[in-house]
Amino acid sequence: MMEMTYHKPVLLKQSVSGLSIKPASVYVDATFGGGGHSKEILCQMDNQSKLFAFDQDEDAQQNTLDDTRFTLIPHNFKHLKRFLRFHKITHVDGILADLGVSSHQFDTPSRGFSIRYDGPLDMRMNQQQPLSASDIINSYSEADLAALFFNFGELRNANKIAQHIVSARGTHIDTTAQLNEVLTPFLPQGNENKILAKIYQALRMEVNKEIEVLKDFLMQCKEVLCPGGRLSVISYHSLEDRLVKRLIQNGNFDTEPYKDDFGKPELYFRKKGGLETPSSEEIKQNNRARSAKLRIAERL
């Protein structure tokens, strides 16, 4: 499967440059996808270096690269430490993560990620896991749905949307077309896609436990990166970006760093450069890049 048809990597040069690749080092691409970032990393690596990539999506695993320096681990990046240890790796020199949904996932109707296609309400990154978007829509309580749409979709009328979905459960809601139809009263003319995108985003984040997984992954990055190692993360949602920003600033997800018994802040990272976003030209070529934010840090 050709990578460019699968997914066009976002902020490619900037994110890989942020790793500051050195000879005889070990790197991780935590979100392999179509392999675009991995290919760029490999181009800059020497023959004594290694690259480990993670992806839980079976479709992405078809894009594996034929390179002796490369190993694809078919699991969620929340298992970072576990599988690096399996490969006898305790510390790495750089970790890159692109937290976005791949174009392939959006453009495959059977995956249920897109508001544009009629398909099953699925949205599972790992298609072996039991929970799907349909399960959430048809079984979550009104209160849980409202919290989901408010917290992950940032929808002010989350309570009314949840109430309406629950009242529509006389018919099992199994497809994206059915859900879109149910949501019609909440879709202002000319702005339908924006509201639908927020609801789909909330469902996807819940299906894949994206915030919990990201927190777990970022805390492991503190342990796995060696001093001077680089962290390069591309996020697409304010909740994700806030977690990355706070980890870099404070070493945790709170608003202040923890302090030792002497009142000294426990810091783990040094910010490298400022927040980077795609150029107007990149957005023109790849509209899905428009909300991307890149943060780069160095392990102290």
Q: pLDDT digit string (tens) for 226-249?
A: 999 999 999 999 999 999 999 999
Q: Give me 152's structure tokens.
A: 């992950």
Q: What is the mean pLDDT of residues 281-287?
A: 93
pLDDT confidence tier of residue 2, bands split at 50, 70 and 90: very low
For residue 3, what pLDDT band results from cuts at 50, 70 and 90? very low
Average pLDDT over residues 106-116: 87
Name the architecture of domain 127-207.
Orthogonal Bundle (1.10)
Query: Domain map of the chain by residue range?
Result: 3-103+210-299, 127-207
Residues 6+ apart with CB under 8 A from 93: 19, 21, 22, 25, 26, 27, 225, 226, 228, 229, 230
Write phi, then psi, for 73 (nearest 5 degrees). -105, 115
**pLDDT, position 4:** 43
- Asked if pLDDT for residue 1 goes beyond 50, the answer is no
pLDDT at 5: 55
Highest mean pLDDT: which of 15-24, 117-126, 190-199, 283-292?
15-24
- Whether the pLDDT of residue 282 is over 70: the answer is yes
Q: What is the mean pLDDT of residues 190-214?
A: 96
Equal CATH topology for 3-103+210-299 and 127-207? no
Per-residue pLDDT at 125 exceeds 60: yes
Q: What is the pLDDT of residues 34-59, one digit of tens each?
A: 999 999 999 999 999 999 999 999 98
What pTM did the predictor assign?
0.94
What percentage of residues in the chain have a pLDDT greater than 70? Answer: 98
Please give the mean pLDDT across all residues of the chain: 95
Write down the CATH superfamily of domain 3-103+210-299: Vaccinia Virus protein VP39 (3.40.50.150)
Cα–chain center distance at 30:
9
Residues 277-283: what's their mean pLDDT?
A: 96
SS3 57: coil
Confidence of residue 8 (pLDDT cuts 50, 70, 90): confident
